[in-house]
Amino acid sequence: HARTMNANARQNLGENLIAIREASGLSKVDFALQLGISRVLLDLIESGNSNLKLSTLEKIADRLGTQPWKLIR
């Protein structure tokens, strides 16, 4: 089995993405498109209920111009 993100990391990621999305003024749909993920996945991430693959976290961080670890702190 793949290692999974712990609850604190998932919660931090969700809160950080909400803050970034709200600061950008984008809708959930537009923000998800910017990140290259579905709106459904964005909802799961923002609610702290998504167990992302590292590759997805890396893609999101890359599209936001940041490092993955910064999104989960």
Residue 40: predicted pLDDT: 97
Quote the pTM value. 0.90
CB atoms within 10 A of CB 58: 14
* pLDDT tens, position by position, 53-65: 999 999 999 999 9
Per-residue pLDDT of the chain (73 residues), as tens digits, is 556 678 999 999 999 999 999 999 999 999 999 999 999 999 999 999 998 999 999 999 999 999 999 999 9
